[in-house]
Amino acid sequence: MTKKQKKVLIRIIIAAVLVAVCYFIPIGNSYLRLAVFMVPYLIIGYDILRKAILGVVHGEVFDENFLMAAATVGAIILGEYVEGVAVMLFYQIGELFQSYAVGKSRRNISQLMDIRPDYANVEANGQVEQVEPDEVEIGTIILVQPGEKVPIDGVVTEGSASLNTSALTGESLPREVGEGDEVVSGCVNMSGVLRIRTTREFGESTVSKILELVENSSMKKSRSENFITRFARYYTPAVCYGALALALLPPVIQLLLGQEPHWSLWVTRALTTLVISCPCALVISIPLSFFGGIGGASAQGILVKGSNYLEALSETRYVVCDKTGTLTKGVFEVTYQEAAAGFTETEVLEAAACAECYSNHPISKSLRDAYGREIDRGRVSDVEEISGHGVCARVDGRMVAAGNRKLMSRLNIVPVEPSKTGTEVHVAVEGRYAGYILISDVVKPGAREAVAGLKRAGVKEIVMLTGDSRTVAEAVAAELGVDVVKSELLPADKVAEVERLLAEKGKKEKLAFVGDGINDAPVLSRADLGIAMGAFGSDAAIEAADIVLMDDDPAKIALAMQISRKTLGIVHQNIIFALAVKFSCLLLGAVGVVGMWWAIFADVGVMILAVLNATRALTFRKK
């Protein structure tokens, strides 16, 4: 509890004790009774009265402070001292509870995103000095010991360790790093001492960008929040004028009809409606719900840039995915190989890896990685790289050719038709066909389950766009269960496809594009919702997308939709509950069925229940 909240609590306790004492001690003189009750009233309500007066002076009349001030002052003028002080007392209790709930929500989010480093260890003259992270320049060597946070993005120059990335990704699986590996700020060193050369200033590092993103998320409001803001702008003045009419019109009509006007009765009813009408439950609980939803998502490694994007997620019916880096790893790997008669698979792979040992092509690297052993380049000579075909080289004195079908045709060798899809590398040794190796962009673990999860979440159509060949694209789409696949596309073609889908979808349906956030920036910005995959340390992803997934798990998209729908459900519950109770009590208060005590429940009670419900958005259990 903050110092300010403690002061309010002390005022509440003092005022409550004084009201109880004043209520049970009989005081015959009305002026003395007024003076006695004014003491707890001013103790508990002086700040509300001050705000109401300042609001009138500055032209901002119709707010909750004005409603409380008008209602309680009116009750005291009518001699309803206990009710007047009680309304102010319970209103302050509700405000204290609301302040505590909001503060707790912010603290919870701060704990979930507890990635801001307190210091950086800088080595100078053999000594380690702790300095502020924003004082560290690019290129400085910093020391990160076990248990400490990585304060600034950089490259490991010495040491190896396991990094806990859960604050960034929501996953507990540690990441192993060693010399030459890039590391991002916000991770916690679990083992080993690391020396890191910084590559960014603290203000440009991953941790700073993430914190800025979360802190600024409240600036982009959802339709529900904008509705409540507009509603309160018209609702509060309307209620005030309605209460004034309720206080004046019935007595005036009675007077015109020759009856005795009951001024105090109708004024009391008008004051009751003022207390009931305070829109605190809606004004506080709706933003708090979205704030909690964004915080709950951040705990799962999902960064949402605003409540409008969280709301749009619940309406997403079309998901368009880039293939490479989104549904697949974006790294070539040997996925299948087959040897011809007279050769073994090991011999075929070794021959291809040795022949390709001087090449920097990604396919060559994948062959060497699959071979997995150090290659003695002294075994390889007469290397000839044929552009668009492959490589010919002498390995251990034997001529080896490794490449595509064009290379085999050039050497008058008939290759075998592969039984599976992938990039083909055919191998021939001394003019004799030895076999083939298939290299593919491997599907991410869980990608198929992610596609199934999107369909369960109500997505009508999942479209995969890729610049890869048709056969490879269709094979990946079939494996994952994607509805539509478009292959051999340029970046401009991807934008055109998204434009077409946007034109075909319904007005209330949203289209999300999921990409790596670097190559797909034009499409990310064009879709209703841009989701960046694999944004671990990627500035471009954080800048381009509306929602950023801090790891490579495509299943987080369906999870984000679940969080969005839970948050929207809480928002709608609060709106319906608050309006139903308020309008019912307003009607009953206008006809005299409920009095000031019911009015207190309709205001403070509804606000407390709505805020309690809103805090549920902070927690989320994966389904």
Give the catalytic positions in this structure.
322
Alpha carbons 294 and 214: distance in angstroms, whole number: 8
Strand 529-532 relative to strand 547-549: parallel, antiparallel, unpaired?
Answer: parallel
DSSP 496-520: HHHHHHHHHS-TT-EEEEEE-SSTT
Could you give the angle at which helices 30-57 and 81-112 cross, rounded to 10 degrees? 40
Phi-psi region of 582 (alpha: psi -120 to 50; beta: other; left: phi over 0): alpha
76-94 core/surface letters (b: 16 or more CB in 10 A; e: else): bebebbbbbbbbbbbbbbb
Sequence-separated (6 or more) residues with CB below 8 Å from residue 258: none
- Rounded (5°) CA angle 401-373-346: 50
Query: 622 exposed, middle or buried (CB, 10 Å; 0-12, 13-18, 19+)?
Result: exposed
Sequence-separated (6 or more) residues with CB below 8 Å from residue 303: 210, 213, 214, 297, 542, 547, 548, 549, 550
DSSP 250-303: HHHHHHHTTPPP-HHHHHHHHHHHHHHH--HHHHHHHHHHHHHHHHHHHHTTEE
- The sheet with strand 154-158 has its strands ordered as 127-131, 120-124, 141-144, 194-198, 154-158, 182-183
Q: Where do we find the tokens 């004799």?
A: 432
**In this structure, are residues 198 and 153 in contact, taking their beta carbons and an 8 Å threshold?**
yes
Q: Which amino acid does the sequence have at 471? A: T
- The sheet with strand 380-386 has its strands ordered as 328-339, 432-443, 423-429, 398-403, 390-395, 380-386
Q: How many CA atoms lie within 13 A of 231 on its CB side?
A: 16
- Rounded (5°) CA angle 282-283-285: 60
Alpha carbons 603 and 280: distance in angstroms, whole number: 7
Look up residue 187 and give its DSSP letter. -
**In this structure, are residues 471 and 328 in contact, taking their beta carbons and an 8 Å threshold?**
no
Sequence-separated (6 or more) residues with CB below 8 Å from residue 383: 355, 358, 391, 392, 393
Sequence-separated (6 or more) residues with CB below 8 Å from residue 64: 236, 278, 279, 280, 283
Nearest Cα residue to 179 out of 159, 150, 199, 162 = 159
Q: Which amino acid does the sequence have at 7? A: K
**In this structure, are residues 476 and 447 in contact, taking their beta carbons and an 8 Å threshold?**
no
Q: Where do we find the tokens 């009265």?
A: 49
Residue 223 Cα distances to 220, 271, 564, 607, 617, angstroms: 10, 32, 14, 21, 18
Alpha carbons 52 and 67: distance in angstroms, whole number: 8
